[in-house]
Structures are given as C-alpha cells and as structure tokens.
Amino acid sequence: MIQLGFVQGSRVRRIKIDGKEVSIMSSETGFVPLKFNLDKLEENKDKFKEFKLTEEDIKVLNELKELGSEQKMANDIKKDFKKTGWKVIYER
C-alpha cells in the first residue's frame, strides 16, 4: 500500500493506493474517501455521477489501471499533481 499527500495553498489531497483500489480524500469530498476498484470501473458509474466526476477524471482512472503496479501508479499521480502546482508532502 502506498499513501500520498499533496497540498496546494490550504487545499489538501490524500491518495491511498492498495493493489487496484484507489482512495481519494479531499476537502471537496468532506474528507470522505472516494474509493474505486480499478478493475471494476464499469460497475462504479453510479459513483461517477454521484461525485460529479468528468470524462477526463474517468480517463485518468483508466490510464492508472493500465500502469499495473502501485509504484508506477504513485509515480504517475505525483507527476500529474506536480504539473498542476501541487506539492507532495508525504509518500509512505
């Protein structure tokens, strides 16, 4: 399992990768984790609508699925967050 923490100003994101399950927590979700099993994305379409995920968000989840290993997923997530101005505050 890999845990990542990001900060941008006062905004915080926490991401946990455990096998093919990805959990995302943020202030926008009320710090309630959004959990997705990358092998069952088609079954999670209701969650996508509930949490107002865009087609771009779903595309990113599908790209993560193709990477395979937790470390490759974590590296890709860090790269994407850094591109948009987020700082990595921890990786465990």
Q: Sketch the domain layout of the chain as residue ranges.
A: 2-91
Q: How far is CA 68 from CA 6, 7, 87, 88, in A?
A: 22, 26, 24, 22
Contact 88, 8 (CB under 8 A): no
pLDDT in tens, 31-73: 888 888 888 887 877 777 777 777 877 888 888 889 989 999 9
Residue 6 has pLDDT above 90, yes or no: yes
- Report the predicted TM-score, pTM, of the whole model to 2 decimal places: 0.84
CA dist., res. 3 & res. 9, Å (int) = 20
